[in-house]
Every structure is written in structure tokens, then in C-alpha cells.
Structure 1
Amino acid sequence: MPEESGLARRAARRYSSGMTEDTDAILAKLPARLREARRAQGLSLDAVAKLSGVSRSMVSQIERGESSPTIATLWNLTRALQVDFAGLLEEGPARQIEVLRSGDVPTIEQRGSGCTIRILSPPEEAGRHEVYELRLSAGGVLDSLPHARGAREHLSVIEGEVEVTSGSGSDRLGPGDTARYAADVAHRIAALSPARAFLVVQDA
């Protein structure tokens, strides 16, 4: 802990020094950079709040530029987001690529039968444009109730063979095939053999 405290003090001094030099410029950087750091980690506002001990509403206000964090609050946030305290305030090239490593992809194991769902889209896209990787064992099924009116799904099969059902229609897909269908009715994806596919869900 002494080493961490020393880092905090050094960062705080740097932060305080910068604040006296150009407060407006530094404060203008914080919202976007904190938001970028959170998205790069694939974290929701709720997740950051739990990890940092900073309330969800405060995290949201800081990201929107409606509140200026104290040094302690900023330190807690950067620790939770695993980013450098001082570097967050420095000039540098904008992040061009956000990477979510394979082992860090959120995964749902218990949805459906014989189906593992890996969530590839960022949390803020939930309910609008969602991207998933599906891994199904032979006979695995993903049954879905109707989504919002006008919602559609795009399923691209990478490996194996699946049967897609939307309402009263159904069809079989093999590797390289893509199906686009209504998702505002009951729909199902059933694996006829071990399969892997990418699913895009778009709400109207």
C-alpha cells in the first residue's frame, strides 16, 4: 500500500499542478477520456460504480462533463478502469482501436440448451445494436421470445449447420450462410451439428 499511496501523491501533485496551469483544458479532457477508458474495458456504468466505489450517478455526471471529480474520486476511477492517473490528462494520440481480449469477453452459459453466448458489443449498445457469438453443441437450442416491434436479427454461420425459425417460417443454414429475419415474433436457432455463428440483433 505505501507504493500505491506514493503513486497517488505524485499523480495528485501532477494533477494539481496542471489544474493551476490550465484548468479548463484539463477538465475538458476528463469526460471523453474516462468514457473511452470505460468502453475500452467493456464496462457498464454500474460495473464502474461497483469497482470504484463512486456512485453510478456521479460516474455518469463526470462522463457528461456535468461534475468535476475530486482527486480521490479520479484516483478511484482510474484504478477501477486500470488506466494511468497522470497519463489520462496528458496530450497524446486518440485511441483508434478498442480491444476486448478473448478471455475478457462476457459469456452467458445458461441461456438456452447446449448454447454458449459471448457478448461482443459494448454495454451501451444493449437494446439497440447487439452482437453475439453463439457456440452450440449438436441439438443445442436458443429459443427467444419476441423482441421490440420491428426488431430484426442477422445470423451468419461460421461452422456447422443450424435451423432458424422465425414465426411460421424456417430454413437451414450452413457455413458461410446468413439469414435475416424478424425478431419481433417468437424465434429459434437450433443446431443440427456442433455449430458456431455470429448474431446481430437490431431493434427498430
Structure 2
Amino acid sequence: MNEKSSDPDQIEARIAQRLRARREALDLTLEQLAERAGVSRAMISRIERRESSPTAAVLGRLCAGLDITLSGLMAAIEEKSLVLLPGKAQPQWRDPETGFERRAVTPAGTGSMVEIVEGRLPPGARIAYPALPANAYDQHILGQDGILIFESGDDRFAIQAGDCLHCALDQPHAFANETTAPCRYLVIIARRKPS
């Protein structure tokens, strides 16, 4: 088992490295990514140099600008592929702004079109994400504990334990916890095959 996988400092370093590597692979300058993602050039530079920790909202905007899901980014920071990814080795990340906690459940490097993420949203927290390219991804949200509010365009759903919502990611969307108790949910993201 890789002991460094759950070390927050190591994960933050790999997030910064992966963001920069993805930007460079797409041949984007900091200015171009800033325009695509709606995040300032200075902030992107600070994140890549590990001078600033990104929030979930900023990471979401950067991922949209880099044409990758947040799950895809997090899966890519794994140092090696495993067929079995034990719970203790699953990368976890905590948003410093909202307290949102994210755990990448699926092993990286398998070539699977599916990613599974566990989210834990504290009371009163809300995270908004931009739209991703149309017809590139869709997702299922499975309630585990508490009540998760999911908003997409004019639609709003209260997802409780056992409820499962399917939706595309082609418009801005948000996850919120409007209760006084934490909520926990799974997000299953599927990359759609090109037609």
C-alpha cells in the first residue's frame, strides 16, 4: 500500500503538479487557462507553485477550463495503479473554504469510463461547479446520509439516503447542505464515448 496516498501535503503537491501538467499538455498559457476557467492568472500561478490551496469551487473551474472532471484530476494524482484500492489508501481532500471532504473511491489507471467519489458536505455548505463540455460526462448521485440539495439550471432536488439522481453535467450545477447535520453521498461519473 502506498502510505503517501492519504497524506494531505502530498495530495496538495500532486494536485498542483497535475494541474500544471494538464495545462502544459493542452499547450495553454496561464492567461489562456485563466480566460477559459474564470480564475485569475495570479491565482493559477500560486496554486501551481503551491503558494495557495485551491477551494473546491476553484478546482472545479480549473478542471472545466482543462476539459477534465475533478474526479479525473484526483484519479490522475495517484502514484500507481491498483486493482484493489483499500479504503485507507483512497485519496482524500478537504476544501479549506467550505469543509467539504472528497474521497476518490475508484482505483486510478484502470482505463475505466466510470469514477466513483464519496462526498461529505458539512451543514450550511454549498459548492457550485461550472458546466462541462456537452455530452462528455454524465453522473449519478446516490444519497448515503442526510439530505443533499442538487441544483442544475432551474431544477432542484433533495436527495436523501437511498435516492439516486441521474444528470448530465452540461450546465452549471451546485451541491448544498441546508440542514444542521452533515450529509454524505456518492457521485458516479461516466465519461461518454464519442459518437
- TM-score normalised according to structure 1 size: 0.49
Q: Which amino acid aligns with 1:191?
A: N
CA displacement, residues 130-157 of structure 1 (integer Å, 9 cap, x when unaligned): 2100011111223211122112111000
Structure 2: runs of 5+ lacking an equivalent: 6-13, 15-78
* Amino acid across the alignment from 2:189: V
Question: Matches of 2:86 and 2:111 in 1, distance apart?
Answer: 20
Distance 1:128 1:111, change over 3 A: farther
Q: For structure 1, which runs of at least 5 residues remain unmatched after alignment?
A: 1-36, 42-46, 48-79, 82-96
Q: 3-state DSSP class of the match of 1:123? A: coil
Of 157, 172, 175, which residue of structure 2 is paired with 1:189?
175
Which one of 107, 122, 142 corresponds to residue 127 of structure 2?
142
Q: 1:101 to 1:141 in 2, by over 3 A?
A: same
Q: Which amino acid aligns with 1:199?
A: V
Q: Percent same amino acid at aligned positions?
A: 19
Contact 1:156 1:199 (C-alpha < 8 Å) held by counterparts: yes
Bigger share in helix = 1
Indicate the SS of the match to 2:171: coil
Aligned residues: 116
Equivalent pair of 1:112/1:142 in contact (CA under 8 Å): no
Amino acid of the structure 1 residue aligned with 2:184: R
Residue in 2 that maps onto 1:203? 191
Q: CA RMSD in A?
A: 3.3
1:157 paired to 2:143: yes
Which among 113, 116, 132 is matched to residue 98 of structure 2?
113
CA distance in structure 1 between the aligned counterparts of 2:160 and 2:150, rounded to whole angstroms: 11
Query: Secondary structure of the equivalent of 2:125?
Result: strand
Q: Which has the larger radius of gyration?
A: 1
Cα displacement (A) at 1:99: 2.7
User: Distance in 2 between the 1:125 and 1:169 partners?
Assistant: 34
CA distance in structure 2 between the aligned counterparts of 1:185 and 1:178, rounded to whole angstroms: 19
